[in-house]
Structure 1
Amino acid sequence: MIILKSRQEIAYMRQAGRIVALTLQELGKRVRPGVTTGELNQFADDFIRRAGGVPAFLNYQGFPASICTSVNNEVVHGIPGLRRLENGDIISIDVGAFYQGYCGDSSYTFPVGEISEEARRLLEVTREALERGIAQAVPGNRIGDISFAIQSFVEGHGYQVVRDFVGHGIGKKMHEEPQVPNFGKPGHGPRLEPGMALAIEPMVNAGTYEVAVMPNHWTVVTKDGSLSAHFEHTVVVTEGQPEVLTRL
């Protein structure tokens, strides 16, 4: 069942989204060669709590950290730890926070130092794919219109969208209906209505779309070892243009 959000619920989600956006902004200042993913996690946990939020990922289905840190060929759900970032890496940092019982969720893939032109292009295409998906989140469109906008743009640039993991509705729970795939046909899927809240999140691989889950049961990697990028925003469908809750 798709739950339409009230004005008050959206206000809570707006604050949750702001906490997430501020956390990502501050993390971006700290992404540099030599920093560990565990250090980034500790900073994020402290920052979210000081801002009045609760980390959404910590202990979610047993996840052991407050953010996801996915480096290079890691797609999503990377577990922070002792790994030190190196010049030329890219790192997707996924942040979720609850405020007054409502969730915000966003991800950004950061360059570490000087990155290759190949990696820079992957980041640019994935970020633009997210914007094209968001632009379709208007009343009367369908989920498939978001999906198609993302897939067609990504594949037009020679990349592939991950099929095994998708975006989702969001609200009191981090994952609600509907699913928001990054692939699909226009005019298909649930019709968008004002009050729908969606986490739109293209996951884009430089090589095959196929992925595998590591033995830790969390970290998802590209099957062919190619680079992967991930950008995400929490978006509310309004009477007019979509409102992005996780953008400052």
Structure 2
Amino acid sequence: MKLPLSLNVIRRLSYHIVFPSKQSPMRYVPDFIDRPDYTKEHERLVIKSPKQQNKMRDSCKLAKEALDLAASLVKAGTTTDEIDANVHDFIINHNAYPSPLGYKNFPKSICTSVNNIACHGIPDDRELMEGDVINVDVTVFLNGFHGDCSKTFSVGNCDSKAIKLIKTAEECRDEGIKVCGPGVPLNRVGSRIQEYAKRHNFAVLPQFCGHGIGEGFHELPGVLHTRNNNKLLLEPGMTFTIEPVITEGEVGISIVKEDGWTAVSDDGSRSAQFEHTILITESGYEILTE
């Protein structure tokens, strides 16, 4: 993997530049566990019935519990592969499927994005180090429905800018959620998030968006986290994610060609991301992964 950074620039950074490392073999899933049908991707916008909403609540609850497990494992000396193994076993033991595993050849059960890896990092044998910033993204498929959430964590003591970055990223997600409700144009979400990030001297990576979710891992609508012209009106029964990736640097990213997934910042800057799955209700919204 090549980064467009000089060694002098890397030496001046207060954190460690991360390069994808060695991966373990793909993990086993028992045959009795239902697999998701990825051909349902982006087919249509699905308004969930009350019964489907309840199934979404179950899958989102399990995703949140799996993410809580991951959080308990984040510490210096732990590899992201170890976190993946534990979360994988937890999901399987609850008769659910880890949605990312095998999705468009993604080889692991969760995403772990550290420091300059902006999104879609693949768990490997690199040990977490004091001062790292790591996002863990978990999606589970339970009883025919996906639930999706993520958080960014500091590993031990981080520098003050990293702490501010993490706090602002969480607040950006929450600001985007706050504007949601029936009859609200979808583009208000992106406008609110971008305004909030800019106010705190950070930027939103426009390459990554939220998405509808349910029986499909990714359904309509696409949820942009920057200003846009999508004036689709939200209505009760919609379920989708809000998951802005906030960066301390420039908005350029590159995909590591060796794996086709890992998105790294072109300038070596760090990112933070928080994600919830939400349901639009008659009176506002419900956070399903809270």
Which TM-score band (shorter chain)? over 0.9
1:121-162: CA deviation from partner (whole Å, max 9, x where unpaired): 000000001011111120011110111111110111111101
Matches within 5 A, 1:46-195: 46-185=89-228, 188-195=230-237
The CA distance in 1 between the partners of 2:231 and 2:120, in whole Å, is: 26
TM-score, normalising length from structure 1?
0.97
Q: Is the 8 A contact 2:130 2:156 kept in 1?
A: yes
Partner of 2:14: none
Aligned counterparts, 1:11-26, within 5 A: 11-26=54-69
CA shift for structure 1 position 112: 0.4
Gaps of at least 5 residues in structure 2 are 1-43
Q: Give the C-alpha shift of residue 189 in structure 1.
A: 2.3
Residue type at the aligned position of 1:209: V
Task: Show structure 1 runs of 4+ deviating over 4 A.
Answer: none
SS for the counterpart of 2:62 is helix
Note the alpha carbon deviations across 1:205-234, whole angstroms, 9 max, x for none. Answer: 101111111122100011111010011000
Q: Identity rate of aligned residues, in percent?
A: 38
Q: Does the residue aligned with 1:95 lie in a helix, a strand or coil?
A: strand
User: How far, CA to CA, are the matches of 2:68 and 2:93 in structure 1?
Assistant: 15
What residue is the counterpart of 1:242 in the other structure? 285
With normalisation by structure 2, the TM-score equals: 0.83
Give the number of the structure whose alpha-carbon radius of gyration is greater. 2
Kindly provide the CA deviation profile for residues 27-48 of structure 1, in whole angstroms up to 9, marking residues without a partner as x: 1111000000000000010111
Q: Kindly report the root-mean-square deviation, in angstroms, between the aligned alpha carbons of the 2 structures.
A: 1.0
Matched position secondary structure for 1:217: coil
C-alpha distance in structure 1 between counterparts of 2:84 and 2:186, whole Å: 33
1:205 aligns with 2:247: yes
Shift of 1:52: 2.9
Q: Distance in 2 between matches of 1:188 and 1:155?
A: 21
Structure 2 SS opposite 1:13: helix
Write the letter of the residue equivalent to 1:21: K
Whether contact under 8 Å (1:36, 1:84) holds in the other structure is yes
What one-letter code is carried by the residue in structure 1 that aligns with 2:58? Q
Instruction: Encode CA deviations 1:54-77: one digit per residue, 9 max, x unaligned.
Output: 110000011000000000011111
Q: Secondary structure at the match of 1:64?
A: coil
